[in-house]
């Protein structure tokens, strides 16, 4: 019994992450807008509603509720002509959770991969609180340094056959996982990768309409 309790305590410490409320506020503003950057998002939403599944473990339930509250308050009138619906879903129920965006709080590798599998099934986006989870195949996270920038995992995005509008590519860092190194590197925009992902239009609007702060 003592061994079991020690194991559970150790496991909770391994996956425990301090959640930053200020960062959640930024995420609450950014995440719903990302869905609009998918060229085919209108074909994927139901009843004109963007559904965001906030995936969590019991230890992050309070933080998940906080994020939901922020999203609901920010987008109570929707975004453009679309409604925004955020739902709380424990990782244990991910296989029964349908959404357009899966927001992933810190968890174990298996739960992340199960969420990615469900997102692939629904042609949905995945966004992780931790940038480290990009190495498991999450599509998007957020870089916080001198500037706040989305980080895009192009391999994961292409695998799910999602094409983002150039305006998102232009303001983002590109995640590159180097299997020959123990470190994952973030590289700035690479035009060759962009050309593989999308065909640029000559009439692209500026990032003004995608401001997230």
Q: What is the DSSP string of 5-54?
A: HHHHHHHHHHH--PPPHHHHHHHHHHHHHHHTTBTTHHHH-BTTEEEEEE
Q: Is the pLDDT of residue 78 over 80?
A: yes
- Taking residue 160's Cβ as centre, other Cβ atoms within 10 Å add up to 18
In a domain, 6, yes or no: no
In a domain, 1, yes or no: no
Whether 143 and 186 have beta carbons less than 8 Å apart is answered as yes
Q: 169 is written with which tokens? A: 């590519």
Q: Is the pLDDT of residue 77 over 80?
A: yes
Average pLDDT over residues 90-108: 97
140: domain CATH number?
Answer: 3.40.50.2300
Whether 58 and 90 have beta carbons less than 8 Å apart is answered as yes
Question: Structurally, how many domains does the chain consist of?
Answer: 1
In a domain, 149, yes or no: yes
Write the pLDDT tens digit of every residue in 14-31: 444 688 999 999 999 999
Task: Domain of residue 145: give its range.
Answer: 20-210
pLDDT band at 185 (very low <50, low <70, confident <90, very high): very low
Whether 204 and 162 have beta carbons less than 8 Å apart is answered as no
Burial class (CB in 10 A: 0-12, 13-18, 19+), 88: middle
Place of tokens 């991910």: 94
In a domain, 11, yes or no: no
Q: Determine the pLDDT at residue 17.
A: 64
From CA 36, how far away is CA 113, in angstroms rounded?
24
Whether 128 and 147 have beta carbons less than 8 Å apart is answered as no
In a domain, 111, yes or no: yes
Sign of CA dihedral 205, 154, 45, 111: negative
Whether 151 and 185 have beta carbons less than 8 Å apart is answered as no
Q: Is the pLDDT of residue 205 over 50?
A: no
Average pLDDT over residues 128-140: 96
> Which range among 70-79, 154-163, 179-188 shows the weakest confidence by mean pLDDT?
179-188
pTM score over 0.75: yes
pLDDT band at 40 (very low <50, low <70, confident <90, very high): very high
Q: Determine the pLDDT at residue 191.
A: 37
């Amino acid at each position: 019994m003592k061994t079991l309790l020690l194991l559970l305590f150790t496991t909770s410490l391994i996956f425990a992450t301090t959640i930053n409320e200020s960062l959640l506020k930024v995420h609450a503003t950014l995440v719903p807008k990302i869905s609009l950057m998918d060229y085919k998002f209108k074909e994927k939403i139901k009843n004109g509603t963007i559904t965001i599944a906030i995936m969590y473990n019991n230890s992050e339930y309070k933080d998940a509720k906080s994020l939901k509250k922020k999203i609901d308050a920010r987008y109570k009138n929707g975004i453009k002509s679309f409604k925004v619906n955020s739902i709380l879903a424990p990782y244990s129920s991910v296989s029964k959770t349908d959404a357009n965006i899966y927001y992933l709080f810190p968890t174990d590798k298996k739960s992340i991969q199960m969420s990615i599998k469900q997102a692939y099934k629904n042609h949905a986006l995945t966004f992780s609180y931790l940038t480290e989870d990009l190495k498991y195949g999450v599509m998007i996270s957020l870089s916080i340094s001198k500037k706040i920038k989305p980080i895009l995992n192009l391999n994961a995005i292409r695998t799910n056959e999602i094409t983002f509008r150039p305006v998102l590519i232009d303001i983002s860092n590109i995640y590159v996982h180097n299997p020959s190194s123990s470190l994952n590197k973030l590289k700035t925009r690479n035009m060759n990768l962009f050309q593989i992902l999308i065909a640029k239009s000559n009439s692209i609007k500026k990032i003004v309409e995608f401001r997230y702060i």
